Amino acid sequence: MGSAGVPVVVGLDNGGTSNNATVLTVDGRFLVDGLVEIPSEVQAGPEAAIEALARALDGVLALTGVPRELVRAVGLDTPGPASATGVISSRGSTNFSQPAWRGYDVRGALEHRLGLPVVYANDGNAAALYAHHTHFGADAMARSSVAAIVGTGLGGGVVEGGRVVGGAAGMAGEFGHVHIPLDGLLGPGQPVPVCACGFTGDVESVASLTAIVNNLLPYWLGRFPGHPLAAEEPARAAKLVRGYGERGDQLAREVFTQQAMALGRLFTIAANFTDPHAYFVGGGVVEAAPEFRDWFLATVREHTVLRAEQRAVATFALVPDRDMAGARGVAIAALEAVRGGAAAGPLVAG
């Protein structure tokens, strides 16, 4: 599978349960078509997790037949919150719950362990970068986009000129915590939603799995007495809502309409802020049945207020290959770093 003698970069996507790895040649070809996963060991603490990432690198090189001396750099993405340079938040995070993770320099530790340059991005930024380069191909370095990734929380990224905008503290593109207007979005008597971060009425308080559990389902179950989801434990019920939505269930469609409206209001802010060429939606909704997926994206678009000039040039699309987007996105970031920003053709060959 390897390309004899062609240098490569490796992308490592670190998650709560597993690491996924990919290999990208310096001329822009992915040598891995699917998931190459091993356990991430993050619950066992930082040292075990760094060793697991090193094993993931060795495993994907063995699979592709690429010798280690051809690796020029490694891309690493993890869930946030973390700094732009890969230091886990001093408050810890959902995936990095042990005290040893607080303020831990995961990028620096992996670089030291591997003896290779390591480029870091959070998983939302990585998926945003992959969506951008896949969608625009050879034009990617001349285009801009925003991506909202709906998961346990709401992640995402801003891409300008083919590169992720990091920000001064590495917190650009934290779309979950952008406040949106709620008038016309909430139902009669629906409480103002509260986010886990303490904000009220930010995007994540509506458009996330956590929002379904805490804010949306309790309200809508009260409007649909006798609904089968009322018998389920709340966290499980939240995960089952999408299946009901795919089958056209009215309660579920009300929940997802509110989420789509929230994303449309976020994108309306983005339209007046960076005026991007493309708006990407990713996360669990992307894995849904095609009819539901298309309905959800169309509803997001319907609630994104664009001027006529913007409508003429903007596209709305889903983040592709969701499971592989993180590893592929950080591989692209690593390749960009290796090239030093020099224009050397598209980062992802067709």
> Partners of 21 in the beta sheet?
12
Closest CA to 221 of 174, 198, 248, 254: 254
158 and 256 belong to one structural domain: yes
Contact criterion met (CB below 8 Å) for 72 and 118: no
**Displacement of CA 160 from its chain's centroid (Å):** 17
Name the residue type at position 270: A
Residue 348 covered by a domain: no
Residue 93 confidence (pLDDT): 76
Q: Residue 285 has what pLDDT?
A: 81
Strands (E), 81-227: 118-122, 144-150, 154-160, 163-164
Q: Are residue 47 and residue 106 in the same domain, yes or no?
A: yes
Q: Do residue 154 and residue 110 come from a single domain?
A: no
Residues 330 and 298 in one domain: no
Whether residue 99 is found in the same domain as residue 218? no
Residue 215 lies in a domain: yes
Q: What is the CATH number of the domain that holds 206?
A: 3.30.420.40
Q: Do 230 and 313 belong to one domain?
A: yes
pLDDT of residue 340: 83
125 falls within a domain: no
Give the pLDDT confidence score for residue 102 in this predicted structure. 93
Asked whether residue 163 is assigned to any structural domain, the reply reads: yes
Output the pLDDT for position 343.
44
Q: Give the sign of the dihedral formed by CA 337, CA 76, CA 47, CA 58.
A: negative
Q: Answer whether 0.85 is exceeded by the pTM.
A: yes
Mean pLDDT by 10 residues, the chain (350 residues): 80 94 96 94 95 98 97 94 86 82 96 97 93 95 96 92 87 90 96 92 95 96 96 94 96 98 98 97 88 96 98 96 91 93 51
On whether both 184 and 112 belong to a single domain, the answer is no
Q: Does any domain span residue 60? A: yes
Q: Are residues 198 and 306 in the same domain?
A: yes
Dihedral angle of Cα 35, 171, 132, 15, to the nearest 10 degrees: 10
**101 and 206 part of one domain:** no
Judgement on whether residues 96 and 14 belong to the same structural domain of the protein: yes
Print the domain residue range for 228: 137-319
Do 279 and 339 have their domain in common? no
What is the total count of domains within the chain?
Answer: 2
Q: How many Å apart are CA 32 and CA 276, to the nearest integer?
A: 30
Do the domain assignments include residue 131? no
d(CA 307, CA 14): 39
- CA–CA separation, 122 and 330 (whole Å): 9
- Domain co-membership, 298 together with 204: yes
